[in-house]
Structure 1
């Protein structure tokens, strides 16, 4: 098979290209720019384009298919040439389905928790040396790439994103996988540039349920009112399996599952609900509850999901991917509940299109109230890049309903403020889907006063 990738440098795209290369396909690709870690990974397999930019001459009828990445445009010259020649054009989720039609497809959907649930399932299957394929949204310890596709594996575990499939396919990705076993972890409005109303966003999950294959399973969080409403209203011919927070206790900062007392490396109600979802999925793959508990004890969490990056006897520093209102509140609650005798300084970088929309900003109301000190950071340059009128400190304080909240739009000022604080008996939680304007968080964690 000869496959050409347009916008090969994307996070999922370059991993899929490598996976197909390993499968024996002949892969070519193009992009206007490829950044790390994509460039090094592609170069290692001889897949990095020699010349950046688009060239219609790369496209011919000798190709079996073209896979179109999300950051290409509909008028891309290579795409137009493929369409002119009648070469089949796929989005990457479409092509994942083409490669897995004969496998059992497990699709993890939801506004939050997808990566963690998927990671937990992969960890347990790996623990027992199960053969499986996968597609996950973050680089995981112990896994070379984010995509694995083989001829031999009978099962694939897919993190099912609700964002659009490609520039010319406006369907959410998770609609295209046609799950046999599906998860919905929660519903909280996101991607407002694509789904302008909450009702429109909820419709995507209703459609997702209808894509589950007849006789399949839907594992869902019954504690989420919106999820419960959508699931209960569905007439799909599937088995509906609810989950919630499992029995547990917390002693000396360690969460243990009950009744067995299995100690965990992760904590917080949102992670415990993620664990419940993963346990139900693994049960559908013939892994017993006892086997699951034994394996999950060594799970250390997905990258950037409450990841411990610094620690003293009386202070922990975490970084987390939390950026949406629901994720922000859940993460703060988790850390505060796990360490009730410590103060908590919580700092979020607003970085996504949704969070920088002034109307959507109101969704953050009261999400940081459990923090002893709330800090919001927005890089002033981000507003310029996105051509958005900058927020003032009063805008942010008003939206969050917190007059004591501190706002920074300069990285140096934020760093100086944190370094001047005393973190004795105080935890620091740094949350962003970005990178705090390149701030070295691990170095910062080492230099804090504690």
Structure 2
């Protein structure tokens, strides 16, 4: 580790922990404040341990760092030294792992900051190791020592030279975590006796409904001007109808609250349900299918069709295509088994245990990677885009004229997603701006 700590010498010769966010975040110049950053960290730790008044905290991180680091006494006056000296942590137990900081992250442990695995990235330290049932050295939140920004990498091998704009300021990251606690996304599970993550909450549903209204309004404004009265929106699907079929809880709530447009297509080739089409499509799923009979941890993980296409995905696509992304569709590890009656469309993702409102496009071609994010989440485990994020993206495509509109809504066909792969994906930079605006 000695080689990595030689880098600290250069820190003292440069303006360190200072950044100008105007170029990206559109905010006044800010400087890293060890006291403010430590205060936010300590607030988060108190949230994590508040369920047990007997858990004590201590401030030993700087001393533990000095035991493993080859630095001189001046380091204690350095911003990183000041930051570490102010951080609370829970006493180390007999476990080799530090205590939890959030349901998905461990508390800082200086012995994990650097390792030979990270020698190609000496300007980053593993500040918060990820809780994925393995050693926290496997990945987590990395702090850029020159900019005071952080990014989540799933493993040291998953550490490409990425744009600095995808790093999130440490203070912003801490505030995002605090918002998760305050909103109830993070909570203490009394049955499991651990801090945990809610798969979705009312805030997620309200955000998706707001984005849905924006999308419908954007399409309505572009409908052809005629002498006829504009089509009025229709009530949501009846909750009693929804109870007759297997659905994820988020999908059930969404379909019971989302008003239906008076036109047919809300995106290229994608429609909404009528009571008749809902009954027809969900009723066509075989009673003996994998989708009907798979035993899930919770109904939250049920893959649910939200916006159906008119097209049924052919049963032979895995044998007739030469595209590896398509030939896997009906393999054991593919997504064919998660479709409802093999109907193409937008589905909730059955594989994300933290975000039940994430969605995936099952394209008629068998491709399932056309509506996704451009890279992994900068501050969280990798995930698909959330429903609200997809609807916001589609609204921007309507407003910029990327999709043609006629009396039936979006006239552009579903092949657009396949022929415009860059435009169909979501950019994390836009989402970062939206998340910062919420703080």
TM over 0.5: no
Q: TM-score, normalised by structure 1?
A: 0.24
Determine which structure has greater relative contact order: mean sequence separation of CA pairs < 8 Å that are 6+ residues apart, divided by chain length: 2
TM-score (norm 2): 0.24
Greater share of residues in strand: 1
